[in-house]
A and B are shown apart, each in its own frame.
Chain A
Amino acid sequence: MKITAQSLAKNAVMAAALAASAFSAQAAELDIKLYNLTHGITFTPVLVAAHDSQTMLFKVGDTASAALQKMAEGGAIDDLSSQVTTAGGVVVENPAQGMLGAGAMTTAMLDTQDNMYLSLTAMLLPTNDGFVGLDSWKIPSEAGTYTVWLNAYDAGSEANDEIINGGGASGTPGIPVAPNGDGGSGASGVRTTEANNMVHIHPGNVGDTDNAGGMSDLDSRVHRWLNPVAKLVVTVK
């Protein structure tokens, strides 16, 4: 199509009209339930985001953004959240008002406005840079209740040394905390480097049964998991 000043202006008016109708047509009210399915892993404050097709919280096979790294290594969702809202998305921050423990469930309500995709992240504790994630799930236009199973991802930004040392800042080795007080101390470390620095499926915690040494501060009987690690139930009203 040849674009002239006149047709551009006309198109702009049409686009505005279309956008307005699209807004009313696509806006969805969501009721969301998130279940932590793990044996002994805690979710840090959850970020739920509705956004357009150009925005994402993370993508497998890509390197982690600084904002994702901050969430995955330390649980802080503020930068990820502001990236979404700056791009016109809407968010629910921290619906559980703190940690979401193993076996627990939290709820959220979200008016998606004209955003068609849903994403979610929360750090997994105790891990170095593990997180539960949903990447750009297309929100159904038909009213109903939908169940999505969520996997554990590794941000690829920090080696999984499995040493609990309080390290939660980006680039600082170590695990911030074992929230249930079931971690050990004095571990030598599972590993110090990792070749794969892309976001990928988490290989899982290794752990050991020595809470005062060994190679891991994690308990292999408590801190392991297999996917899926969470169930998300979304009701489109």
Chain B
Amino acid sequence: MKTQFKPAHSLIWLSLIAGMSVLSGCSIDINSDDDDKDDEMKQSYHYQITVTNLTQAQPMSPVSLTLHNASTKLWMMGELASNALEVMAEGGDNSQLAELPSVKMAYSGEGILMPGNSQSWMIESMYENYMHLSIATMLVNTNDAFTGKTAIDLSSLDVGMSMHYTTMAYDAGTEANDEINLPGPAAGGEGYNSARNDVDRVHIHPGVLSNAELTGSLLSPEHKFDNPVTKITITRMQ
């Protein structure tokens, strides 16, 4: 397994992992101007992250992987979604999550994670105070459903050991679930819209109805989903 890293504060391209989906990821060190003493590089930690899409017919937007400080959560149940989260949950664009001030390193999958498929990435953490990982992606045949795991503490994982998670589908609560304004292939409709016309709190997604039960829905029964919707494996490589 060969992974190339350039020094921090530059664009880093990551190699693919043999046998996995033909997709790469890129990493951008966002806050390169920080002169925070906590940023001092002490040691380099490498992790392999694998995400499997467990749904029947919900493609997932390019997966966002961010490394941030311990006090950050990208979302919390019952709380308002940030604008950055709303942009991803409604339209699949994860670029604003990468630009959050607390995020030190951000990686993104390059393509859609299709149902039944897996994608893997190698990521590197170089800052001891930015050892918390968040993983996020949109279920694109929905109004504002997303999934992932936020603030996974990587610091106590030993070399060669793995962590396993399955994740729930969340509703960002920022867009009404009309099943019409969907950016995914089922509709090709509107993605992000800054208007908030739903309950405006992050919650467990109630699921989609489809045209079997909701007149005007652009979804069909195959787009229904149940939890969990992804499986995540994190292995520390070095």
Q: Which residues of A contact B (CB under 8 A)?
A: 60-61, 151-152, 154, 156, 160, 190-191, 194-204, 206, 208, 215, 225-227
Contact B224 A200 (CB under 8 A): no
Chain B contacts of A226 at CB under 8 A?
A: 226-227
Contact A60 B56 (CB under 8 A): no
Contact A203 B55 (CB under 8 A): yes
Nearest CB on B from A153, distance (A): 9
A194 to B115, CA, bound (A): 11
Contact B117 A61 (CB under 8 A): yes
Chain B contacts of A199 at CB under 8 A?
A: 116
Contact B212 A200 (CB under 8 A): no
> Interface residues of B, CB < 8 Å — how many?
24
Contact B116 A61 (CB under 8 A): yes
Nearest CB on A from B137, distance (A): 15
Chain B contacts of A206 at CB under 8 A?
A: 210, 212, 221, 224
Task: Using A60-B54, A203-B222, A206-B224 as known contacts, say yes or no to A196 and B212 having CB atoms under 8 A apart.
Answer: no
Chain A contacts of B207 at CB under 8 A?
A: 204
- Report how many A-B pairs have Cβ atoms within 8 Å: 77
B231 interfacial contact with A, CB 8 Å: yes
Task: Using A61-B52, A156-B116, A196-B57 as known contacts, say yes or no to A201 and B228 having CB atoms under 8 A apart.
Answer: yes
A24 to B85, CA, bound (A): 53
B45 interfacial contact with A, CB 8 Å: no
Contact B222 A201 (CB under 8 A): no
A154 to B116, CA, bound (A): 11
A215 to B213, CA, bound (A): 12
A201 to B222, CA, bound (A): 12
Chain B contacts of A196 at CB under 8 A?
A: 55-57, 115-116
List 28 A-B residue pairs with CB atoms under 8 Å apart, sorted by A's residue number: A60-B231, A61-B52, A61-B231, A151-B226, A160-B222, A190-B221, A191-B222, A194-B57, A194-B222, A196-B116, A198-B115, A198-B116, A198-B117, A200-B56, A200-B115, A201-B54, A201-B225, A203-B55, A203-B56, A203-B221, A203-B222, A203-B223, A203-B226, A204-B224, A206-B221, A215-B212, A226-B226, A227-B226
Contact A227 B228 (CB under 8 A): yes
Contact A203 B116 (CB under 8 A): no
A201 to B225, CA, bound (A): 8
Over the window 44-56 of chain B, the binary record of Cβ atoms lying under 8 Å from chain A Cβ atoms (1 yes, 0 no) is 0000000011111
B150 interfacial contact with A, CB 8 Å: no
Q: Which residues of B contact A (CB under 8 A)?
A: 52-57, 115-118, 207, 210, 212, 220-229, 231
Nearest CB on A from B185, distance (A): 10
Chain A contacts of B53 at CB under 8 A?
A: 200
Nearest CB on B from A150, distance (A): 12
Contact B116 A208 (CB under 8 A): no
A221 to B68, CA, bound (A): 45
Chain A contacts of B118 at CB under 8 A?
A: 61
A195 to B102, CA, bound (A): 39
Chain B contacts of A194 at CB under 8 A?
A: 56-57, 222
**10 pairs of A and B residues whose beta carbons are closest in the complex:** A198-B116, A203-B224, A203-B56, A196-B115, A201-B54, A206-B221, A196-B116, A61-B52, A200-B54, A61-B118
Contact A203 B225 (CB under 8 A): yes
User: With A201-B54, A201-B228 given, can you name 14 additional A-B contacts, CB distance below 8 Å?
Assistant: A61-B54, A61-B117, A61-B118, A61-B231, A154-B56, A190-B212, A194-B57, A196-B56, A198-B115, A198-B116, A201-B226, A203-B224, A204-B226, A206-B221
Chain A contacts of B55 at CB under 8 A?
A: 196, 200-201, 203
CB closest residue in chain A, given B54: A201
A225 to B210, CA, bound (A): 16
A203 to B57, CA, bound (A): 9
A206 to B212, CA, bound (A): 8
A146 to B103, CA, bound (A): 38
A215 to B228, CA, bound (A): 27
Nearest CB on B from A105, distance (A): 23
Chain A contacts of B223 at CB under 8 A?
A: 203
Nearest CB on A from B163, distance (A): 14
